[in-house]
Chains A and B, each alone.
Chain A
């Protein structure tokens, strides 16, 4: 006796995991909004330039060619060199420097967020979970820092510490922690009283496990929004500091430093020197901002009207 039911084979679909379903929903919403897709593509290009700079850049970014100083874009040089975006005052290839410049911008942007995010998340968790004087001290420190124009602090520290990628990352990173701390604290305060935290406590989990394994995973989502806006503003700050000559050593090409160099040629109207690095900054920062906007709408549609 067969047990075939209704003569039709049963189609066994593997249940799509929650994570995968979320991912599909995200992609769909992204495509619907259009601009985030463009932003993501731009950022992928920037990331490729940052990672593969040495392999894809046509020339050595520091190679000077006195004969080819201030060449217009689309100029052909000697020995098969072709200057798609022209050369600067020292005869260096603008395109190559632009590609290398992506490195510092992305590296500083992402690492500073990691530094600031880590400090901020830990501070916020502690403040929110324990409350009391710990909370007071941490949040008061944050108030002081926010009440001070941050770029001035960065200038002072970098003048004293001297230039360098590491110093910039630390200074810009420390500058960001308050934002994270505030949000994490608010979230922790509300989650602290939830049943599942109560349960973990009742089961006798050690406090630090409760904080990092029970609470932290539940507050990650809003942080990604802040992080993407933050990368944008850190990249802008890095460009400003490089422009002031406080960035990385001069032999490392950065977009901000390229703009600073372009000032010498301002009167000569060599527009490409300022135009391209500036556009690189604008497109990168804009992309992060657009992604941040989309991410916020996606994660919390209630916030849609907020700027």
Chain B
């Protein structure tokens, strides 16, 4: 239900954005277009009709994935976006993986050693992580690990999802180690912000749970500290965390768009950047709507996970 509202909202916003530019026709023609050409485009795209009619048309086109032709590639914008999507998905999913897998142990560690040097340094890192622009982190990593130490590749991409879609599983999995190797730097640059936020969240959530009666009971029953932390405390502590992580994906996707630029990652972010420079509106639109759908899908998955780990929630 929420997703449906969001999708309608997104289309309304996209539509309004177009109308706000005055006559949207001018966004779809080159600067040297003649008056006749402009008129032809206006009619072809239906911009001469009334606003409600235009919106219905717009929705129809959207449902068919038709955003019009890219102005610079002379082919459907959605095609260009779909080609770039797998690379972006790889980066996004890897960054999410890092944001969860690195953040939870750090947060737990900090909460168990509250007030100690370990806690202090993890919290300091958390504070720093929320203040560093992801693209700058990427540039600095390229300079240090790529150009100075020469231990990580500064750009390049080995596809994993693409061969997977094409059904070439052998190639996909022989590629995988390389894929991950090339993902380390961009993935970390994107994820650092989320790692910091999530670690802080896990810590505060854990602190709250650790002070509760059932944890004391578990301890007094003589259960090992490890089991208390993992089975009793963490299971309850990560409910708010899962919700927040879902919202975090929005930031993460924003980071992906910018970081792709730094590493010349052949994904939607780089596509959008080039489209921005050429004022290629159909491509920007197709990319934004596609990323929004990815975001919605990911949030749906988070909701499902939430329902699974918290038996109180019913979908």
Interface SS of B by simple majority: helix
B interface, how many residues as a size bin?
A: 35 or more
Q: Is the CB of A266 closer than 8 A to any CB of chain B? A: yes
- Within B202-253, the residues touching A (CB, 8 Å) are 203-204, 207-208, 247, 249-251, 253
Q: Is the CB of A278 closer than 8 A to any CB of chain B? A: yes
- Give CA–CA (A148, B14) in the complex, Å: 12
Q: Is the CB of A301 closer than 8 A to any CB of chain B? A: no
- Within A275-290, the residues touching B (CB, 8 Å) are 275, 277-278, 281-282, 285-286, 289-290
Top 4 closest pairs, chain A to chain B, by CB: A151-B254, A307-B200, A144-B9, A278-B136
Proximity string of chain A (127-154) to chain B, C-beta cutoff 8 Å, 1 when within and 0 when not: 0000000000000100111111111110
- Give CA–CA (A290, B147) in the complex, Å: 33
Enumerate chain A interface residues (CB-CB to B < 8 A): 140, 143-153, 155-157, 159-161, 232, 236-237, 239-240, 243-246, 256, 259, 262-263, 266-267, 269, 271, 274-275, 277-278, 281-282, 285-286, 289-290, 293, 305-307
Proximity string of chain B (247-263) to chain A, C-beta cutoff 8 Å, 1 when within and 0 when not: 10111011001100110
Proximity string of chain B (174-210) to chain A, C-beta cutoff 8 Å, 1 when within and 0 when not: 0000000000000000000000010011011001100
Indicate if the CB atoms of B21 and A161 lie closer than 8 Å.
Answer: yes
Indicate if the CB atoms of B133 and A236 lie closer than 8 Å.
Answer: yes
Indicate if the CB atoms of B132 and A289 lie closer than 8 Å.
Answer: no
Q: Report A-chain residues with C-beta under 8 Å of the C-beta of B136.
A: 239, 259, 274, 277-278, 281-282
- Give CA–CA (A156, B24) in the complex, Å: 13
Nearest CB of chain B from residue A73's CB, rounded to whole Å: 15
Enumerate chain B interface residues (CB-CB to A < 8 A): 2, 5-6, 9-10, 13-14, 17-18, 20-21, 27, 126-128, 130-136, 139-140, 142-143, 147, 197, 200-201, 203-204, 207-208, 247, 249-251, 253-254, 257-258, 261-262, 272-273, 275-277, 279, 281, 284-285, 288, 291-292, 295-296, 299
> Contact partner of A152 among B9, B27, B142, B288, CB < 8 A?
B288
> Contact partner of B273 among A157, A244, A271, CB < 8 A?
A244
Indicate if the CB atoms of A153 and B135 lie closer than 8 Å.
Answer: no
Indicate if the CB atoms of A307 and B140 lie closer than 8 Å.
Answer: no
